[in-house]
Structure 1
């Protein structure tokens, strides 16, 4: 009975989004695999690539059975495998780690929007798959000693309760700001780490973009990521916390594009969405009053940047529209 249900609007929408993301990852992995110098890294990416292809085919089959058009997503023409390396070693696995982190959250959210058992099962499998990829990437990067951990902390010896409203103070010029708590540090550090990797990625994109407007957009994104890293690092230093140096593989001096402008713009939009989600969580769980304001300002900058990117994509015919609901006003004319 459950299998005979037609796809709901939310199921169709999430499948469409997943198809877009997985075809993008598929194309980027094809380039990273070809350029990989480390055999272990290459094996990790080859395994991920094979499974991503299988999931793309699963989504195609579901849509075909429902009589829905197959999205375009990203094709072979969106990647140029034979060009010089755009990034130094380790960037490929760092990228895989970050994109799997983004995917874990998306797949769990999408599963909560599903009703049909086959769709729920698909997202359960995707969640488990991305979790295993994340684990492999972390293990690899730690063995290579290139993945620093968030700041060290002394273990608590007793339970403490906030003494009045001073705990939440952050703007009062006549009172001293309390030190960051570990929950706040976790969210700030996660943003610093993600933006450093994003800054390296978008620096490479800026070097190889074909359209002048796209190149300018990526340069602007690099500066935005740099500002976020600087602002959040300053918050650490104000609490006498030395932020660890997050090691990130740099872009090389190549100026030959391995990816289409369309693919690089879409990848950047995914990172913007991830940044907005991370800032929302950080805002919700930060109790010192100055932190949510800083994070909201960051979110406004990221949202504006992401919207401007969407306009560029639409202008160039790169923005594939999600399936739409029927326009009842138009149908009744």
Structure 2
């Protein structure tokens, strides 16, 4: 059987559906950024990223139409006001593109790994290649402008060592060994992700139209700050510097460039990214105190995410993903 004639599997439908939702949101966000960006080094990167997201939305819609599947509503020009004043600085746009490309490559790698049909695999392969190109360009621009935030340095090991003591795992209350490179990597990445989330939440809280949405964003700011402090303290215990926080990259505008619906979806994706990152960090952290912090903070994020979903349901903003047939309901409906 020709691979193009194979039905889409549930995981292919799921990953493509989520990518469509994410990229349709990115199109709106990047259109606004492109209208506001002044830095001539940053503008081409925003334009390039926008072009990629537009291509992705078009490609997925075509696959769905060929399958006779409903194309998601997603997000449109109704969810963005490109004439609104700047809410963020040009350097924020650059940092946002770096996080956007990192999240994209993770999602596309998962999609490629799970896909069977050749056209879907080709789609995800192209996404990985083009998103890597974006990531390379953004990283070089951050470096050239001197605003790339580097991870802490540690001594280069001169010989191979093996763990000889159960004390390597550490304890909740007792003295612990220094953090290893894997633990450092995840702590640094999670501080950076929370810093990005905090800046977004500060801006969104300034412009949100609904009171409960605004309060949700303000609560998210507090959670992000708390998590940054927890992770930073673990670095500082080993006399390692934590990444800088850049709240100053939000302007004083109170005019909304995005609908509350789009902003809630953006924050929902940040929550999902944090859950995935914390889960990976929990698995990679062999010091029990570090793993314990991730477990505790994941529970807090999960509750925050559930409360956000309730707000989106309340206003009719939560688009339902494709789901399996309810066989019991089908049987009883006869």
Q: How does the TM-score come out when normalised to structure 1?
A: 0.97
CA distance in 1, matches of 2:40, 2:247: 20
Given that 1:90 and 1:249 are in contact with CA atoms closer than 8 Å, whether structure 2 keeps it comes out as no
Q: Are 1:118 and 2:129 matched, yes or no? A: no
1:179-235 per-position Cα deviation (integer Å, ceiling 9, x unaligned): 111111110011111111110111000000000000000000000000000000111
Paired position in structure 1 for 2:160: 159
Matches within 5 A, 1:242-281: 242-247=241-246, 250-281=249-280
Paired position in structure 2 for 1:148: 149
Paired position in structure 1 for 2:93: 92
Structure 2 residues without counterparts, runs of 5 or longer: none
* Aligned Cα root-mean-square deviation (Å): 1.2
1:95-117 per-position Cα deviation (integer Å, ceiling 9, x unaligned): 11101111111111111221110
Q: 1:249 to 1:127 in 2, by over 3 A?
A: farther
Paired position in structure 1 for 2:284: 285
Paired position in structure 2 for 1:211: 210
Q: 1:223 to 1:324 in 2, by over 3 A?
A: same
Paired position in structure 2 for 1:229: 228
Paired position in structure 2 for 1:69: 70
CA apart distance, 1:148 = 1.7
Paired position in structure 1 for 2:317: 318
CA distance in 1, matches of 2:144, 2:248: 16
CA distance in 2, matches of 1:244, 1:72: 38
Determine helix, strand or coil for the equivalent of 2:83.
coil
Given that 1:148 and 1:247 are in contact with CA atoms closer than 8 Å, whether structure 2 keeps it comes out as no
CA apart distance, 1:245 = 2.3
Determine helix, strand or coil for the equivalent of 2:88.
coil
CA distance in 1, matches of 2:247, 2:44: 21
Given that 1:91 and 1:249 are in contact with CA atoms closer than 8 Å, whether structure 2 keeps it comes out as no
CA distance in 2, matches of 1:202, 1:177: 34
Paired position in structure 1 for 2:18: 17
CA distance in 2, matches of 1:210, 1:244: 32
CA distance in 1, matches of 2:189, 2:52: 27
CA apart distance, 1:170 = 2.5
CA distance in 2, matches of 1:201, 1:144: 22
Given that 2:37 and 2:43 are in contact with CA atoms closer than 8 Å, whether structure 1 keeps it comes out as yes
Structure 1 residues without counterparts, runs of 5 or longer: none
Moved more, 41-50 or 28-37: 41-50
Moved more, 234-243 or 245-254: 245-254
Given that 1:91 and 1:248 are in contact with CA atoms closer than 8 Å, whether structure 2 keeps it comes out as no
Moved more, 115-124 or 249-258: 249-258
Q: How does the TM-score come out when normalised to structure 2?
A: 0.97
Q: Are 1:186 and 2:155 matched, yes or no? A: no
Given that 1:147 and 1:247 are in contact with CA atoms closer than 8 Å, whether structure 2 keeps it comes out as no
Determine helix, strand or coil for the equivalent of 1:332.
helix
Given that 1:147 and 1:246 are in contact with CA atoms closer than 8 Å, whether structure 2 keeps it comes out as no
CA apart distance, 1:172 = 4.6
Moved more, 259-268 or 4-13: 4-13
Which stretches of structure 1, 4 residues or more, deviate above 6 A after TM superposition? none
Given that 1:146 and 1:247 are in contact with CA atoms closer than 8 Å, whether structure 2 keeps it comes out as no
